[in-house]
Amino acid sequence: MLTANYKPAAKWDISLSGTYTYSQAEMDMITFDNINGQLGFDPATNGMSMYDYNLSKVHTYSDLEIQQWDVSFGVTYQVSTKTSLSAGINYMSYDEDEQYLADESGSAYSGVVNLAYWFR
Amino acid sequence: MLHLITLIAFVICSPYPLPAQETEKAGSAFGIEITPGFHGTDVKDYKGKIGEYEFLKDGIRPDLGINIYGTTKGSFFRLQGLYYEDEDFAVSADIDVQRILREEFSYFRMPHFLEHDPIKNLAACWCSATGVPVPAVTEYEDLDPRGEYYIKYSRLESKTTYRLPFLPGSQIYVDYRKEFRKGHRQAISLSKCSSCHAVSRDRTIDEYTEDISPGFKAKFGNAESGWITLTYNYLKRHFGETGNDPIATYDQALAPGGASVGKPVFSNRVQYDNINLPYSVAPSSEKDSHVIKAHGQLNKVATDVFASYVNTSAENMHTDNEYDLNSFIGRITNTLLPGLTVAGTFRWMEIDNDNVPVTVNEPVALAGPQVGQTYSQVYPDFDPVYNRLSALSRKVYETEFTAKYRLSKKMSLNGKFEWRSTDRDYYQVESGETTTNEYMGNIGLYYRHSGFYGRLAYTHDSTSDPFANPRAACNPSGINPTPGNTFTGIQYFQLYDMRRLTLTNLPDNKDEVTASVTWSISPSISLSGYYRYINESNDFDWDQESHMPSVSLFFSPSPKFNWTLSYLYNYQKTDSLICMSVFDG
């Protein structure tokens, strides 16, 4: 994470912030003991192949790899004692390299310009 | 985030009304600030994650902020409004009359985008010897594949306070709050037997939570000899959901294969079939709460005393199920001895929740070897009628002692001991055992000297019989039976009864070490570091370890420029047994 604020002159305010997040997770492969000895037969070759479950990829459901960016830049200028002008831009990104339920990756740029005026 | 920038700019540029006492000196003032502007957004791909709580919409649109404020002798008002989008705006008012009557009002609206699970991961199947799926065992169907799920959240809040002029520090008040949640979310129904079927539909949300909370606070005494405040608060909460419940179609339970294919041989094993029923129902509820607090300071003996009593009852208006909660907290803090602060806290809580008698339909089999018989007639060991005993009903006792001693001008030592006993009325965390005892000890050393600040702390938790499911898994070294014939073989309830192994992800031993340092190298540079290590385990083959270091650097090369750079790393590893309930339990 980086944040910076700079005031080059009395009428100017400049700010910059950026955050990068990397998340990664995984689960060990699921393994079962061979129970043929307890049963006295091999289910897979004795008409019970439907119970010979293949769980070799179940652990991959827990795979997680996400990169996130959030960067903002803003500037404010005091035009007069009654007026100021501000502008900012923001970039957000969410990137999934391992997807489980759905790919929710996306990014967006946003910009804003505002004029402030005081009646007093 | 950008929305936040707009709000911050708006607030920074707003001259906040002067406090009443300052106004008396300054006289009257009045002002209006307007902040018109534009904002634009360009979104790529899915917007519900990056803008989970923002209304991200392509294009350029106007926004507007208004701030009206006024002060006069002893009084002030402030009205604010910030419009960003139709579903994202806020208004507020703050009025104070002679520091006797104050009204704070606010209303805001914001979106919350929700996930849409395509449920494709539910495509389970049997496989042939060569690995070819034949046939699909679990079907999935999303009846609203392009649906966008979100909640339009809004909250109206009002706080009206009347300060008693004849009793300084005393007041009566009425708080009101109402939350609205409108929108749509995904609702998934499951049916089994002839059609192992997951179906996703749109569910309309139209919820509200309404709180009315009157109360009073009275203060007696003075700052020199001591004072005491008495507070009473009543809360009436009502939650309601008026959105239409989605309707699921549950097919007739027919044999999916074998010699009985297409016949209702399993109709004595289901509660209902061949029927349309609502699901994903959100019941209405009501809650009443009374809170009494007393807080006093006895200055002559340097002692602070606090006591609180809470009585709460809540009812599910759909099932009439209720719970009652009574709680008392007492705390005393003493600083009589120089450099030493000691505190003791006692807490008692009792929750009484209704038990639920469970009754079921007991249809007969319409075909097959069990025709004309109910399930419990065929398998007398299975009793479908039972009394669901509440796992919530409990008594909790808790004590805590803390001490802080200043060893020197640069160093202080903190210590804490805590004991909590949770005795459940019915739920057994181990065979015949309903009580969990938790002991926690903490010791910390603090050091501060000429720009250097450091903290080192160690915490140990020891728990006997943590909350657990004592029949969660089969013994990994025990017998693993196969179900056999559907009618004469092992039944589901018999498979579940074979689970004798306790599982929990709560530790009975936990060690935690934390350390932090901050070094102010100069007025313009400071370096901070933090590290946390946790090692926890229990007797049920579960353990977890985590490391979390972080570092932060602050640098201000000139009064006009500063920046902060920080990095955090988190590593966590968990080992646990799991029980895979695959198709046959």
- Count interface pairs A-B at CB distance under 8 A: 168
CB B346, CB B320: distance < 8 Å: no
pLDDT band with cut points at 50, 70 and 90 for residue A8:
confident
Among residues B344, B327, B335, B332, the alpha carbon closest in space to that of B306 is found at B332
Q: Which of A90, A104, A108 sits opposite B43 (nearest CB)?
A: A108
Domain parsing of chain A, residue ranges: 2-26+63-117
Q: Which pLDDT score, from 0 to 100, does residue A30 have?
A: 77
Query: How large is the C-alpha radius of gyration of chain A?
Result: 28
Domain parsing of chain B, residue ranges: 1-41+61-99
List the Cα angle A82/A83/A85 in 5-degree steps. Answer: 160
**When comparing pLDDT for A25 and B164, which is higher?**
B164
Q: What six digits make up the tokens of B85? A: 């989008």
Which residue of A lies nearest to B117 if distances are taken between CA atoms? A101
Specify burial of residue B246 (Cβ count, 10 A radius: 0-12, 13-18, 19+).
buried
Q: At B582, give phi and psi (nearest 5°).
A: -105, 110
Cα torsion angle, B444, B445, B450, B451, sign: negative
Interface test with A, best of B3, B45, B55, B479 (most A CBs within 10 A): B45
Query: Is the entire prediction scored with pTM above 0.95?
Result: no
Compute the distance between CA of residue B568 and CA of residue B550 in angstroms, rounded to an integer. Answer: 4
Compute the distance between CA of residue B574 and CA of residue B543 in angstroms, rounded to an integer. Answer: 6
Residues in chain B, overall count: 585
In chain B, which residues have pLDDT < 70?
A: 1-26, 122-137, 192-195, 257, 475-484, 579-585
> What DSSP element (H or E) covers B139?
strand B139-142
Q: Which pLDDT score, from 0 to 100, does residue B16 have?
A: 40
Which residue of B lies nearest to A2 if distances are taken between CA atoms? B565
pLDDT band with cut points at 50, 70 and 90 for residue A76:
very high
Q: Which of A4, A86, A118 sits opposite B562 (nearest CB)?
A: A4
Q: Which of B1, B38, B65 sits opposite A90 (nearest CB)?
A: B1
Residues B144-155: b if buried by 16+ CB within 10 A, e if exposed: beeeebbbbbbb
**When comparing pLDDT for A83 and B224, which is higher?**
A83
pLDDT tens column, B391-411 = 999 999 999 999 999 999 999
CB B109, CB B89: distance < 8 Å: yes
Contact list, B128 vs chain A (CB under 8 Å): 49
Q: Which pLDDT score, from 0 to 100, does residue A48 have?
A: 61
CB B50, CB A108: distance < 8 Å: yes
Q: What six digits make up the tokens of B75? A: 């009084």
Q: Which pLDDT score, from 0 to 100, does residue B4 have?
A: 44
Which residue of A lies nearest to B553 if distances are taken between CA atoms? A2
Pairing of strands B139-142, B197-222: parallel
Q: Which pLDDT score, from 0 to 100, does residue B450 have?
A: 87
Compute the distance between CA of residue B296 and CA of residue B332 in angstroms, rounded to an integer. Answer: 10
Contact list, A104 vs chain B (CB under 8 Å): 46, 48-49, 115
Compute the distance between CA of residue B374 and CA of residue B268 in angstroms, rounded to an integer. Answer: 5
Sequential DSSP letters for chain A: -EEEEE-SSTTEEEEEEEEEEEEEE--PPP-----HHHHTS-GGGTT-GGGS---TTGGGGG-EEEEEEEEEEEEEEE-SSSEEEEEEEEEEEEEESS-SS----EEEEEEEEEEEEEE-
Compute the distance between CA of residue B207 and CA of residue B205 in angstroms, rounded to an integer. Answer: 6
Which residue of A lies nearest to B481 if distances are taken between CA atoms? A39
Q: Which pLDDT score, from 0 to 100, does residue B7 have?
A: 43
Contact list, B581 vs chain A (CB under 8 Å): none
Amino acid identity, position B134: V
Between the two ends of chain B, the Cα-to-Cα distance in Å is 47
Q: Which of A6, A61, A89 sits opposite B560 (nearest CB)?
A: A6
